[in-house]
Amino acid sequence: MKSLFKAFRKLMIWGTITSTLLFIGITLIQIYGRFFMVKAPSWSEEAARVAFIYAIAFAAGLAVRGSYYVDFGFLAQKLKPRLQKRLTYFVWGVTVIFIVLFTYYAIDFLMLGLIEKSPSLKYKMAISFSGIAIMGLSILVHLLDQKPKI
């Protein structure tokens, strides 16, 4: 099971790197187009937005794994150790439930994108909307990998 988590984590890392580099590259094309071309490429703004959405989606789970989100540990430190453990497990459980619901509705939202088309790039909006589902899945997998011990 650990090797599956490790493979998933590598996929998220490479997805983050690729999406971020695409975002930077497309943004540079957009800047060049606005300053040095008669007309900037119309696709660049939307493509940069999609690359940014994917970069955030892939990186969200990695942020959970690295504990980079806001932590109120200083409040829990005032509690007894046994209560701290229970609170940690409770917060983890509530977060998992929230992310499961989030991912479920993200997939529902993705299905709506199958009937819509992008205004400038003319692709199905499900491609953009899938970033939200990827984010939910990424966070969920990393939460399950980081399950607290009681």
Average pLDDT over residues 58-85: 82
Give 121 or 126, the one with higher predicted confidence.
126
Q: What is the pLDDT confidence band of residue 91, given thresholds at 50, 70 and 90?
A: confident
- Smallest Cα–Cα separation from 108: which of 127, 88, 130, 91? 130
pLDDT band at 84 (very low <50, low <70, confident <90, very high): confident
Greater confidence, 11 or 2? 11
Confidence of residue 150 (pLDDT cuts 50, 70, 90): low
For the chain, which residues make up each domain, given as ranges?
A: 2-145
In tens, the pLDDT along 17-48 reads: 999 999 999 999 999 999 999 888 888 889 99
- Tell which residue, 87, 76, 86, 65, has the closest CA to residue 9: 65
CB 139 within 8 A of CB 99: yes
The Cα–Cα gap between 44 and 30 comes to 6
The predicted model scores a pTM of 0.85
